[in-house]
Structure 1
Amino acid sequence: MASALTDKLSRLVKDLRGQGRITESNVTDMLREVRMALLEADVALPVVRDFIARVKDKALGQEVLGSLQPGQVLVSIVNRELAATMGEGVSDINLAAQPPAVILMAGLQGAGKTTTTAKLAKHLIEKRKKKVLTVSGDVYRPAAIEQLKTVTAQAGAEWFPSTPDQNPVDIGRAALDYAKKHFFDVLLVDTAGRLAIDEALMLEIKNLHAVLNPVETLFVVDAMQGQDAVNTAKAFKEALPLTGIILTKTDGDSRGGAALSVRQITGAPIKFAGTSEKLDGLEVFDAERHAGRILGMGDIVALVEQVTAGVDIEAAKKLADKVKSGGGFDLNDFLAQIQQMKQMGGLSSLMDKLPAAMAAKAGQVDMDKAERDIKRKEGIIHSMTPLERRKPDLIKATRKRRIAAGAGVHVQEVNRMLKEFEQMQDMMKKMKGGGMMKMMKRLGGMKGMPKMPF
């Protein structure tokens, strides 16, 4: 997210860190660069002015000038004020209400409200262990109701039916009544969006809010909208008592202005960020960690969380026990390792959370090409028989040709995949022999390997 802003600010951070002495002159120069970077990222002008004034005030104080490492202190001030602009730490969703807790989803058409509703349902089911019902009050957009039905089923929640000929307020009342009778913990209400703000939309959502009395009114905004997001935020803030913001499409190559603007413009905290199109691509928004990402410092905590969530601990233990007992490492195990990588959200998603310097190093590899390569390997293994997967030594020339044809690749691709499998197999044998530490030391000593922050 916000790649241009991140590039500029991370360069400034690098320059500042090397400064042995900070003067009013180089603080002014630095802030000029920061101001330009923020404006180019489409951050609202009042937000930029306020941010620059706060940083300047602190940067010219004793905290920096009296420090032995003023450059480092100045970077931490920029980081802290960026976080303060987006909110303080984490603002969790409020479910402290007599069940069902009603959550109203508001925003313009195209912001991703319907998909985000399903993502939030999945989050509440998996992380908060809640029984969730969704309903669509969008009677205008073709197939909106059916779309919510589909994604709700994928999220594991229950869907309340509605039809385009109904009034949204009547839909809301009926859904709330059903949720009470069937003991749901949460009712998520997806409202209609428009391509532009209009009075009819605002009146309708005000009426819906009055009837449902939601515990949360979440404003869903596209992070790629930039300045438009600010105008939309103002209009919704005037119409509704917003309790929180969900930023969608933060994985896009956006300028990032929305993340820095909407919090200050609406006064409502950013509660979630959409990180991918997948239904599990919604993370609780942490202002400090997000500021670190914008400054090119990465988000190692989120990286570890993503890897941990994607790893099947039980499957990993079974594989370790199998290898230890001399059971060997076959192509079924190799396929399972590939699928683990996919569960973690893919290479590009992991890369996004690395510090800029490490990501730049790893970025020399084409991530799209690497992800295509992973899918190709999966296709090759799926083209094999169960016996071939268990006993790879059986795979000779004739079988290779059949497997290649089944996977739609050249025989050379099958050979390359088998060679990589053999290398992994050798690695597993070393682990069985207790040589894991030696192997890690060798890897750590390889030229050009980045030092991992563990």
Structure 2
Amino acid sequence: MFDELSQRFEDAVKNLRGQGAISESNVEGALKDVRRALLEADVSLPVVKDFVDEVRRKAVGAEVVRGISPDQKFIQVVHEQLVDTMGGENAPLAAGGKPGEPSVVLMAGLQGAGKTTATAKLGLHLKEQGRRALLVGADVYRPAAIEQLRTLGGQIGVEVFSLGTEARPEDIAAAGVEKAREEGFDTVLVDTAGRLQIDTSMMEEMVRIREAVQPDEVLLVVDSMIGQEAAELTRAFHEQVGITGAVLTKLDGDSRGGAALSIRKVSGAPIKFIGTGEKVEALQPFHPERMASRILGMGDVLTLVEKAQKEVELADVARMQQKLQEASFDFSDFVQQMRLIKRMGSLGGLMKMIPGMNKIDDGMLKQGEQQLGKIESMISSMTAAERENPDLLALMPSRRRRIAKGSGHTPAEVDKVLADFQRMRGFMQQMTKGGGMPGMPGMGGMPGMGGGFPGMGGFPGMPGMGGPAGAGGRGGGSRKANRPPKKRKGFGEL
């Protein structure tokens, strides 16, 4: 998401390029583009008006220091205002009340927003933090809602409690809290029922549940696809139930992002978590500053590093770093790196967290993911000895023909992947001598960053796919960097 909004903001600052200073006359064109960008992103109209007024007030007459152009200063002002509009800083979950008492979190929202899945995702997030959570199924209306929660709980190893569909939701919630108190759970997550639209019965039920369990948090689960309606939804829940925060779901879709910019301004309650995919692991704490950087195309390296650190073991990092430096990186290592990427999320989503990579064409990223699948099928057709010693394939064309037949590809495709892989090993050896991205050794990088995302050519470690201009791949970079490798013994037919 946010791709269209990012492009609009980029268009807005073009009006200020080449200007000597920010003034009332030249800033209006940029503000007009900002206003249009926000409205097209489905941001609530009052929020848009306040945002533009604040940017105008801060930008006009802002001191532009030597070495900083007016358009760069304008971007800084917009970034600061985006951060302020979305809440300023990360707001963690409340720690709970009295010692020995579990912290209680009510999950509220409309039907279809992903509330049950968000409940399980939050349970896994707390488990990874060392907390012991109990999921409580209090949605007695939607068919199979409780069963869905039980299934998700089983997948993540978090216990689920319910009294079935005949009990009253407030009684289920109260019984769940009592069970947590008796058995030493420190957090209770109550999945409540939603409706297709806000109605009196739903609000009354939420109030009864709230009175029964006295929650520390009431989190409103909001579908980011609903745009401007998020403002009215948030206002209604806040006025009648009283929310303490929000969980924004489906941020991996084609939503325009308006909900993220409207919720805090309308309710005063912060967005605490965002859902970035269908997998139960796809939940992140919401950081306004990081999100503002993504919107403005500045990337989000901190979140990228956190994702890598979560998946990578320190021992594996050291081992992989050494293999890269020695150019002994083999196909088994390559598969391990590809699977690491898959666990972290989509290739496109990860690449766009790198500053400057937001302009990579989605078609290229999709092609890269498809190529990764082809390469993995070829590696699956190799013997263990061939994976550990790729030079065996260079010396024996018959092995390459067997792999091509077994994976359903042509010998020429196998030859190309092998040649790219050998070239990649040499390049990654050079890059790792200068150090890699913090927390991500062994994943390669962009030229000058010391490492790379395996599997996508043009970037180090990505055989089989051309890179964008200037990235050191077939589409650009220095002539020396793109020079084909010298033929090695046994590679005459490649």
| TM-score, shorter chain, exceeding 0.5 | yes
C-alpha contact 2:96 2:104 (8 A) present in aligned 1: no
Quote the residue 1:141 is aligned against. 142
Residues in 2 aligned to 1:34 and 1:407: alpha-carbon distance in whole angstroms? 50
Query: Aligned residue for 1:297?
Result: 298
CA separation of 1:327 and 1:91: change in aligned 2, threshold 3 A: closer
**Which ranges of structure 1 fall in alignment gaps of 5 or more residues?**
none
Check the 8 A contact 2:15/2:26 in 1, yes or no. Answer: no
Which residue in 1 is equivalent to 2:103? 101
Q: Counterparts of 1:300 and 1:118 in 2: how far apart (Å)?
A: 27
Deviation at 1:408, TM superposition (A): 4.2
Residue 164 of structure 1, CA deviation: 2.2
Are 2:433 and 1:436 equivalent residues in the alignment?
A: yes
**Are residues 33 and 425 of structure 1, via their aligned partners in 2, closer, same or farther at CA, if it must alter by over 3 Å?**
closer
Aligned residues: 444
Q: Equivalent pairs: percent with the same residue?
A: 44
Query: Map of 1:372-391 to 2, 5 A cutoff?
Result: 372-391=370-389
SS in 1 for 2:131: coil
Q: CA deviation at 1:305?
A: 2.5
Q: Which residue of 1 aligns with 2:486?
A: none
Which residue matches 2:492? none
Whole-Å Cα distance in 2 between the matches of residues 435 and 218 of structure 1? 44
CA-based RMSD of the aligned residues comes to: 3.2
- Other-structure match for 1:28: 28
Q: Which has the higher contact order (CA 8 A, sep 6+)?
A: 1
CA contact (8 A) 1:249 1:276 kept: yes
- Give the whole-Å Cα distance in 2 for the aligned partners of 1:204 and 1:442: 53
Could you report, residue by residue, the CA deviation over 1:388-418 in whole angstroms, capped at 9, with x for unpaired residues? Answer: 4334455556655554455444444433333
The answer to whether 1:363 aligns with 2:361 is yes
CA distance in 1, matches of 2:377, 2:250: 29
Q: CA deviation at 1:303?
A: 2.7
**SS of the counterpart of 1:63?**
coil
Question: Structure 1, residues 318-368: CA drift from partner, whole Å, max 9, x if none?
Answer: 2445677x794433222222222223323111123234x4321x3376111
Alpha-carbon distance change, 137 to 403 in structure 1, aligned in 2, over 3 angstroms = farther
Q: What's the TM-score, normalizing by structure 2?
A: 0.81
Deviation at 1:130, TM superposition (A): 0.3
Instruction: Point out where structure 2 has 5 or more consecutive residues left out of the alignment.
Output: 437-443, 450-457, 459-468, 477-494
| Counterpart-to-counterpart distance in 1, 2:265 and 2:404 | 56
1:216 aligns with 2:217: yes
* Structure 1 residue 172: Cα displacement: 0.9
Retained in 1: the 8 A contact 2:227–2:259?
A: yes
Once the two structures are overlaid, the 10-residue window that deviates more, 294-303 or 192-201, is 294-303
Task: Give the Cα–Cα distance (whole angstroms) in 2 for the partners of residues 166 and 22 of structure 1.
Answer: 64
Query: 2:89 is paired with a residue of what secondary structure?
Result: coil
Q: 1:166 to 1:59 in 2, by over 3 A?
A: same
- The one-letter amino acid paired with 1:258 is A
Match of 1:336 in 2: 336
Write the distance in 2 (CA, Å) between the matches of 1:367 and 1:273.
23
> Contact between 1:145 and 1:162, CA under 8 Å: does it hold in 2?
no
Q: Offset at 1:96?
A: 3.0
Deviation at 1:56, TM superposition (A): 2.0
Distance 1:142 1:374, change over 3 A: same
CA contact (8 A) 1:3 1:254 kept: no
1:236 lines up with 2:237 in the alignment: yes
Corresponding position of 2:268 = 267
CA distance in 1 between counterparts of 2:230 and 2:445 reads 49
In 2: Cα distance, 1:250 partner to 1:17 partner: 32
CA contact (8 A) 1:272 1:283 kept: yes
DSSP 3-state at the match of 1:221: strand
Shift of 1:260: 0.9
- Map of 1:181 onto structure 2: 182
SS in 2 for 1:366: helix
Cα distance in 2 for residues equivalent to 1:228 and 1:91: 23
Q: Is the 8 A contact 1:17 1:75 kept in 2?
A: no
Indicate if the aligned counterparts of 2:19 and 2:70 stay in contact, CA closer than 8 A.
yes
CA distance in 2 between partners of 1:248 and 1:5 (Å) = 18
Alignment of 1:9-408 (within 5 A): 9-16=9-16, 18-60=18-60, 62-64=61-63, 69-98=69-98, 99-126=101-128, 128-321=129-322, 328-355=328-355, 357-360=356-359, 362-363=360-361, 366-392=364-390, 396=396, 399-400=399-400, 403-408=403-408
Letter in 2 for 1:118: A
Q: Greater helix share, 1 or 2?
A: 1
Secondary structure in 1 matching 2:246: strand
TM-superposition CA deviations, 1:164-223 (whole Å, max 9, x none)? 222211211221111111100111111111111111111111111110111010011011
Distance in 1 separating the partners of 2:368 and 2:11:
27
Q: CA shift at 1:14, angstroms?
A: 4.4
